[in-house]
Amino acid sequence: MKVPKVVDLQALQHFPDVLKKPDLHKLHVELFACLPSLPNMPDLHRLREELTNSLPSMDLLPSPSTWHIIEILTRCLPERLFHGNYTDVGVLLSMKEDVVNLIAPFMLTPITRWPFFAFLGGAMFCLFSSSTCHLLACHSERLSYIMLRLDYAGIAALISTSFYPTVYYSFMCNPFFCNLYLGFITLLGIGTMLVSLLPVFEKPEYRKFRASLFFGMGFSGIAPILHKLILFWNRPEALHTTGYELLMGLFYGIGTLIYATRVPERWMPGKFDIAGHSHQLFHLFVVAGAYTHYHAGLLYLRWRDQEGC
């Protein structure tokens, strides 16, 4: 329900108006407490004029030799924006939001979000098609047949789009492998959706073929995940995202196992007809798996936003 905030470069044309909002004299006083070299820095009012005049060329900051930006970031910003070795409790407690709002837009260069939104779209389509299937399947045999095909297509969409954030953000600096993995999972997902929708593949002789496509889609994610661990074995982000992805696979696997074995109604027939039967438990595990992968996607976004390639 919350869209991750990104920096809109077009909004920077209003940066002169942003500079007029903070109390620059108050900033000057606060910065003096944590910057010994403040007298050697340009006057902040002159700094605002320089930023305003240089805005059309997008050269937003003066050269580091005239404005000690590194010292400001290191000594004067709260820890939530900069994790350095310098910590002055008094400065952190007295720091106002003006400096944060002034400098924060330039600290991160956000990357594209479409792989993350593609996953969210696939998850929403899967759950929407499933709920629609359960709602309308009782209408008639013909509509039940159509809705069931749509339900299978939604499952294929969820599986294929789940790999988009993993592949794109892991290999965004290696276009060859990024395009290779994305192309493969996309083609496999489209093929699985077509097999689910076309009546010709409903014949009994294609049953193993249909099952193999879904099985292959799920296990095709092992290759990019292992490749990611080889490339970034020393990065905590790679390990954390892999942990989420393994947990996601565990949720999906348990849900599929419960659905296939018809547990628990096979043990007590009739007792779980209204609540607690295998299909309901299956859906709960699917939602848990998608939610887990959502958190993995947020880790990918934070990692790449902060470090890029």
Do 273 and 139 contact (CB within 8 A), yes or no? Answer: no
Is 83 assigned a ligand-binding role in the annotation? no
In terms of phi and psi (left: phi > 0; alpha: psi -120 to 50; beta: otherwise), the region of 147 is alpha
Is 134 assigned a ligand-binding role in the annotation? yes
In order of 152, 180, 201, 221, 264, the CA distances from 184 in angstroms are 20, 6, 22, 10, 37
Residues constituting the chain: 309
Do 269 and 210 contact (CB within 8 A), yes or no? Answer: no
Is 295 assigned a ligand-binding role in the annotation? no
User: Which residues 6+ apart lie within 8 Å of 242 measured at CB?
Assistant: 225, 228, 229
Q: Which residues of 32-63 are buried (b: 16+ CB within 10 A; e: fewer)?
A: eebbeebeebeebeebbebbeeebeeeeeebe
Task: Please give the annotated binding residues, written as ranges.
Answer: 134, 279, 283
Task: Please give the annotated binding residues for Zn(2+), written as ranges.
Answer: 134, 279, 283
